[in-house]
Chains A and B, each alone.
Chain A
Amino acid sequence: MDVKRYRPIAVLLIIIVFIQLICTFTGTEFFLTQIIMAAYFSLVILGLCLLMGHAGQISLGHAGFFAIGGYTSATLTTINLIDIADSGVAGFLKGAGILFLRKDIYGEEILSFSPWVAFIAALVVTILIAFLIGIPVLRLKGHYLAMATLGFGMIITTIVRGTRIFGEADGISSVPAFDLLPVLRVTGKSIYRIENYYIAWFIVIIALIISLNLINSRVGRALRAIHGSEEAARAIGIDTARYKLYTFVLSAVFAAAGGVFLTHYNGGIGPSQSSVMKSVRYVAIVAVGGMDNIWGCLFMGILLNFLTLRGFFGTLEEVVFGGILIVFMLFFPRGILKPGMITSFRNAIRKCGLKLFRMRGKSKQNAA
């Protein structure tokens, strides 16, 4: 077996431990909170790196998949079935671990789906939606694909903003902790911080291993081939439609998993997570990360999300990510990107820039 590909993970592990120790000893453990959140956002970045950098297909709708994951999990774990708690079915489901009973902060009893069940449901829902969207949309190329995925993201935003069970503009709060194992729980409570830091990295490393395995395989080569020339790839016998679709679904699953874990960590999710600006930001990070460079994407994913969460960019946050994208498009060699993709980016960003402007205006009105 080729172990070379895993070597950087050992280095990564050392860095992870090192950062934790430094934070603990300098009394700055609060930094870990933002690293944890950045790690979950990085799952989206890793998925997009496979989809954009390797298969050469752009998506401006991945915040939508993040939201689908987060909202599915949040809804199922906060829905209160206490009224039917006495029925036989509920009893059976409770016994099977599918439903679980807890008390919320006001001491009210809540019977809802257990986080594991919600997690699996979130992935299944994501896979179904990704297939349904991917089959028609991946026939499109360049800026048509960008626009279609952008549209998908906007639909998701509209749905979560406009639906009662999704909490409309407020989103869903009071999402319970996710007990991965009886002793391992995904939660934002500060006593669990170090534990959660390692849980988050463990999940990222699983995603990394999946990505590295895929990249270095027959499938990974085929994806690169599709990126290089779809016509030649088909002539070689690659089922390009299927490969693009599967990669799209996989990247959607990564995004959704990020959404699920971050929602449990934060204890809630709001509609801004599905926003087009979020999708654009993911694309910008993959671009600065080097498109097909999984390590570059991970690094930038952690760094830029961390800085954003620390409020480093202040009110200029969106300007920064827009700016990153423009600078990258203007000054970086076309080598990494395909010319067609560059135009698609530019067009999409130009068009969604307008939309964002309007949406931001609206959200400010809502807030006021």
Chain B
Amino acid sequence: MLLNIQKLNRFFGGLHAVNDISFSVRQGIIKAVIGPNGAGKTTLFNLITGNLKPDSGDIFFKDHRITPLKEHRIAALGISRTFQTTKLFSHMTVCRNVMVGRHIRTKAGFISSILNLPFTWKEEKEIRLKSLEILRSLELADCEDEDAHNLSFGKQRLVEIARALAAEPELLLLDEPAAGLNIHETEKLAEIILQIKNRGITILLVEHDISLVMGISDEVFVLDRGKMLAEGKPEDIQKNRDVINTYLGEGDA
């Protein structure tokens, strides 16, 4: 198992936002986490990435216990994410946004940067080439020199994905990547997510767009008010009574 979550709990004051959640993610699949607003999906992501710490329970990544690690350490182990509301570095160009994404794969520190040591020149070149390659694969190469905040909403979401990919993660967490996208952009996004999967990257996906979820996921985990409601293959989830009643029903009606 690439990711293994055991009996995870997190409270916000009196609110039990994540309630005894256990699940695991196999290497190479797309696993979706769905559920109504406020179900605790983003909180779950924040717990996995170390942005929040659980009140109890454990998270294992490639058999390392990552629960106590700092956020940047967890990222360095190979977990990248995007945010529900995009958090691009808005006063940097698209290319530089992606270049920072290579942080954990590169080394130049304070001293070697200040001294402009020769190894950093090679590294900088590598960072740039790799970033451009990622931008090209997402068809963003033509906006590499634009300021990130000048891009359309849909493109900003893609840049955020590109930035996450620049770290060459093993696990990629996407928090509602289709929110705010039009139908055409959503179709494109589905292709991109599948393409990322084909590169061997495991994906954990939070998404409200049910047809997108059912179309591309291998497994679906349903969360409701912090608790697990169901887990299984997309076709089974679509038939699950509880899920239809609490979540799918309202959307399809």
Query: Does A associate with B in a complex?
Result: yes
**Is A108 at the interface (CB under 8 A from chain B)?**
no
Interface residues of B in 72-100 (CB under 8 A from A): 72, 75-76, 80-81, 83, 87-92, 96, 99-100
**Is B236 at the interface (CB under 8 A from chain A)?**
no
**Is A365 at the interface (CB under 8 A from chain B)?**
no
Cβ-defined contact, B120 with A232, below 8 A: no
Cβ-defined contact, B167 with A236, below 8 A: yes
Cβ-defined contact, B114 with A235, below 8 A: no
> In the assembly, what is the distance between CA of A235 and CA of B51, in Å?
8
Cβ-defined contact, A213 with B113, below 8 A: yes
Known: A1-B121, A232-B89. A237 touches B104 (CB 8 A): yes
Cβ-defined contact, A214 with B114, below 8 A: yes
> In the assembly, what is the distance between CA of A2 and CA of B125, in Å?
10
**Is B139 at the interface (CB under 8 A from chain A)?**
no
Cβ-defined contact, B92 with A228, below 8 A: yes
> In the assembly, what is the distance between CA of A238 and CA of B89, in Å?
13
Residues of A within 8 A of B76 (CB): 237
Q: State how many angstroms separate the Cβ of A186 from the closest Cβ of chain B.
A: 23
By a beta-carbon cutoff of 8 Å, the part of chain A in contact with chain B is 1-2, 210, 213-214, 217-222, 224-225, 227-229, 231-240, 246, 250, 335
Cβ-defined contact, B49 with A235, below 8 A: yes
Cβ-defined contact, B71 with A219, below 8 A: no
Contact with A along B160-195 (1 / 0, CB 8 A): 000110010000000000000000000000000000
For B127, the closest partner residue in chain A by CB is A218
By a beta-carbon cutoff of 8 Å, the part of chain B in contact with chain A is 49, 51, 70-72, 75-76, 80-81, 83, 87-92, 96, 99-101, 103-104, 106-110, 113-116, 118, 120-121, 123-124, 127, 163-164, 167
Residues of B within 8 A of A335 (CB): 91
Cβ-defined contact, B89 with A224, below 8 A: yes
Known: A218-B106, A225-B100. A232 touches B87 (CB 8 A): yes
Identify which of B81, B91, B116 contacts A1 (C-beta below 8 A).
Answer: B116
Residues of B within 8 A of A250 (CB): 110
Residues of A within 8 A of B164 (CB): 236
Cβ-defined contact, A225 with B89, below 8 A: yes
Cβ-defined contact, A214 with B113, below 8 A: yes
Cβ-defined contact, B113 with A232, below 8 A: no
Residues of A within 8 A of B83 (CB): 231-232, 235
Residues of A within 8 A of B116 (CB): 1, 213, 217
Q: State how many angstroms separate the Cβ of B225 from the closest Cβ of chain A.
A: 25
Known: A2-B121, A221-B100, A246-B110. A235 touches B90 (CB 8 A): no
Identify which of B81, B91, B101, B108 contacts A228 (C-beta below 8 A).
Answer: B91
Q: State how many angstroms separate the Cβ of A27 from the closest Cβ of chain B.
A: 41
Q: State how many angstroms separate the Cβ of A246 from the closest Cβ of chain B.
A: 5
Residues of B within 8 A of A225 (CB): 89, 92, 100, 103
